[in-house]
Amino acid sequence: MSHPRIAFAVLAAMAAASSALAQTPAAPAKPPGAPAAPAPPAPKRAGLLWKEEWRQVGDGSEQAFDMAKAVRNPDLVMTLYGKEAVLRSLGKDGDENNPSHIFSGECKNACGVTFKSKSGMADLTGLARIRVNTKMSGFHKLYPMIKLASGDWYIGDRNPESSIRDWIVSDVAIPDVHWTKLDIANLVPKGNPVDKVDLTKVDEIGFVDLMPASGHGPGGWFDLAQIEVYGKPAAK
């Protein structure tokens, strides 16, 4: 194609584009003084759904665990999971240096504990979280564990903060948790993290320690004091 023809073709294309733009209707002008479009609402943090503060058993020295004596919240049903799982009750009500708590030192295998509300299931969507007061020894960590209405179990990859020297209250933010299926009979994670888990109906909520404990004294175990769940009641 000769140079004059190329130039003509380019000019024709530019003219067509200008004509198309001219025919495009302009966005309506905003009337003077019109209010700005409302900003989208900020995400709302979930409210307290339930709380468990263990009850002091006896004089606060180490006691055999008795669910009827130790669980304070009458709306909650606690379940202990794990082969040869044993818990002990320790601590005193109102003592921030040694609050009423459970101790896992005698768990010979992985050990987990969950709570189920008699009032109904939990909806852990949105800005839900679990707040817990813990103390740890050794390399032990607590992982969130849940049971859905379907009967499926999952374990999460976020751990509450912990220290061997002091009690630490920390939150596990549910939106940040990646969930993996959990073999509840053996307390073993199965497979890869799941892309999406329906948290609108959660039947049981708690924590699991995947390591066997070392017994009493320094070594490996968890102390678990109060636990709070922030979410919504599940739709009926």
User: Scanning the structure block, which residue is given the tokens 């909520």?
Assistant: 205
Into how many domains does the chain fold?
1
- pLDDT cut 90: percent of the chain above it: 78
Range of the domain at 202: 47-233
Fill in the amino acid letter for 123.
D
Q: Is residue 22 part of a domain?
A: no
Q: Is residue 25 part of a domain?
A: no
Q: Is residue 29 part of a domain?
A: no
Residue 193 φ then ψ, to 5°: -55, 145
For residue 40, is pLDDT > 70?
A: yes
Q: Is residue 39 part of a domain?
A: no
Domain CATH code at residue 137 = 2.60.120.430
Mean pLDDT, rounded, for 164-189: 97
Mean pLDDT, rounded, for 100-123: 97
Q: At 8, is the pLDDT very low, low, confident or very high (cuts 50, 70, 90)? A: very low
Q: Is residue 20 part of a domain?
A: no
Quote the CA–CA distance of 55 and 148 in Å, as a whole number: 28
Q: How far is CA 125 from the centre of its chain?
A: 10
Q: Is residue 64 part of a domain?
A: yes
For residue 1, is pLDDT > 60?
A: no
Q: Is residue 63 part of a domain?
A: yes
pLDDT at 190 (0 to 100): 97
Q: Is residue 26 part of a domain?
A: no
Is the pLDDT higher at 214 or at 13? Answer: 214
Dihedral of CA atoms 64, 49, 173, 43 in degrees, nearest 10, equals -170
What spatial distance separates the first Cα and last Cα of the chain, rounded to whole Å? Answer: 74
